[in-house]
Structure 1
Amino acid sequence: MGRSRRRAVLQPPCRPPCPVSDTASDVPLASGPTSGTTLSGRAAAMRMRLMQAGAELLGEVGIERISTNQVASRAGVTPPVFYRHFKDKYDLLAALGSTLMEAQNDILYEWLERSAPAGFEELMGAHYQFLLSTIQATAEMPGAVWIMRALRAVPSLTAVRLASHEMVTDRICRAMGPLLPEMDPAELRLRTRIAVDAGYAAVEMALDDPSMSPESVCRALTQMWLGGLRHGV
C-alpha cells in the first residue's frame, strides 16, 4: 500500500444527523468535545472549519507552537470567533482527538459487526484488513500523526484517549467473549486492552516511519494478538 499524501477534509464520524436549530441560542460560547450541546448548521460548519485549520497547522508547526491566533488566522476568522467554539488550543486538540478516534473506531465496529458472527477464525482473519483500512483512513486525515502524538503527550487529553480505548476494549470483549468461552474474561480483557493500545501505536508507527511497511506492521500485530489469544485459552 502506498501512503496517501493528498490533503483530505476533516470529517465528523459517520452517524445519524442530530436535529439542529438555526437560533443563536444553540451556539455555545466554549463547547468541549463532550458538551452534548446542539449546534446550528452555521455554527457546526464554523467549528469544523476551525478544526480543519487546527489539524493542518498541527502538521506544520507541531503541538507546542500552535496557537489559537494561528488557527483563527488560517480559518479566516478573528480570535473571538475561535473562543466561541473552543476554550483554548487544548480544547481544540481534544475535539480533534475525539474526532480522529471516533473515525478510527467506526472502522473497528464495522469489522466486529461483519466478522464476529462468522466465528473466531473469521474475525481474526479479517483483523489484518481492518488494521490496514484504519491506517489508510488515518493517513487521509490532516494532521493525524500529530493529533495522535498530542493524545499521548498532553496531560489534559489523557482522559479523552483512555475513555476511547476503554470503550473499544469493551466492544471487542463483548464480541469476542462468546467466541472464546474457555478463556477467563479478565484475561481476555487484559490481552484485548494491550492489543488496543498496540493497535493505535501500530497506526502511528506505520504513518510516522517511512521504513516501516504498513502491511508488515499489520501482519505482525495480527499474528501477535492471535498468538496471545490462543495461548490464553
Structure 2
Amino acid sequence: MPRSETPPMPSALLADANVATLNTKAQPRQKRAQETYELILGATAQLLAEVGIERLSTNLVCERAGISPPALYRYFPNKYALLGALGTRLMQEQNALVEVWATPATLVLDEAGLKASIYALYAQTLDLTRAMPEGLWVTRALRAVPTLAPIRIASHAHVAGLIVHAFMSAHPHAQINRVRTLARLSVEMVYAALEMLFDDPSQDEHATGEALAEMLARQVVLVRQTRSA
C-alpha cells in the first residue's frame, strides 16, 4: 500500500503555527490555575454567543470571569489567543467523530451504506457544534479571522489524513492522489455545509445533508474503482 502520513493532531498546532498572537503564555499546572484557565475560556465562550467576534475583548472576558487583566494575560496575550484555544477545542471534538467514522469497515460499505454513514457523521457534527455555546461563532471565526486559519487548515488536514489512511487500508489498489484529493474535498464540503446552515438558517439541514452524503458516497465509489499505476 502506498505510504500515507497522518498529519499532526491540531492540539500541537498552537506551538507549530508560528503565529505569535495565538501562543498562550503559560499552561496551567496547579489545580487552581487550571480552574482559572477554564473560567477564562468559559467566559469567552459565553460572551462569544452574546456579543460576537468583533465586540469580544479581553476586558469583557475579565469582567465576566471576575478576574483581573494580569490574571488573564498570564495565559492569553489577546483575544485571538482565546479564540484560538476555543477553536482548537471545538475542532478536536469534531475530529473525534471522524476518528470513529474513518475506518476500513466504513469505506467498504456499498453506496447506500456510505450515504447513510456520511449523513450520520454530518448530523453528529452539526449537533455537536450547535450544542457548544461558542460553536457557531468559533466556526465563523475560524473561517473569517486570518490569524486563526492555521488551526482550521491543520485540523482539516489531520482528519483528511485519517480518511486517506482508512481508505488505502481498505482499497490498497486505489490511486492515492485521487484518494487524498477526495478526502480533503470531503472535509471542506462538510464544514462548508455547516457554515452555510449557520449563516442562513432558512436552508433545510436535512436536504443539505442528503445532497452532501449522496455526492460524497458516489465519489467514494468511483475513486475506489481506480487502480494505481
What residue is the counterpart of 1:207 in the other structure?
198
Map of 2:163 onto structure 1: 172
Does structure 1 retain, via aligned residues, the 8 Å contact 2:40–2:65?
A: yes
Partners of 1:46 and 1:73 in 2: how far apart? 13
Identity in percent:
37
In the alignment, which of 101, 104, 125 is matched to residue 111 of structure 1?
A: 101
Farther off after superposition, 99-108 or 153-162? 153-162
- Asked if residue 229 in structure 1 is aligned to residue 217 in structure 2, the reply is no
For 1:91, the aligned partner's letter is A
* Dislocated runs of 4+, deviation >4 Å: 35-38
Letter in 1 for 2:149: T
The structural deviation recorded for 1:93 is 0.6
Q: Following the alignment from structure 2 to structure 1, what is the Cα–Cα distance between the partners of residues 106 and 195?
A: 30
Q: CA RMSD in A?
A: 2.2
| Equivalence for 1:24 | none
The equivalent of 2:119 in structure 1 is 128
Residue 97 of structure 1 corresponds to: 87
1:169 positional shift: 0.6
Contact residue 104 and residue 137 of structure 1 kept, 8 A: yes
Query: Which residue of the other structure, out of 23, 28, 42, is the alignment partner of 2:32?
Result: 42
Tell which has more relative contact order, 1 or 2 (C-alpha 8 A, sep 6+): 2
CA shift for structure 1 position 165: 0.7
Q: Which runs of 5+ in 1 are unaligned?
A: 1-29
2:56 aligned partner: 66
Cα deviation, residue 129, structure 1? 0.9
Displacement of 1:144: 1.1
What is the identity, as a one-letter code, of the residue corresponding to 2:181? L
Please name the residue that 2:72 is paired with: 82
TM-score calculated relative to the size of structure 2? 0.79
How many residues align structurally? 201
TM-score normalised to structure 1 length? 0.78
Q: Report 1:187-202 matches (<5 A).
A: 187-202=178-193
**Cα displacement string for residues 175-217 of structure 1 (whole angstroms, at most 9, x for unaligned residues):** 1123233431011101110110111122222334322232222
Counterpart of 2:41 (choices 27, 32, 51) is 51
Alpha-carbon distance in 2 for matches of 1:56, 1:175: 37
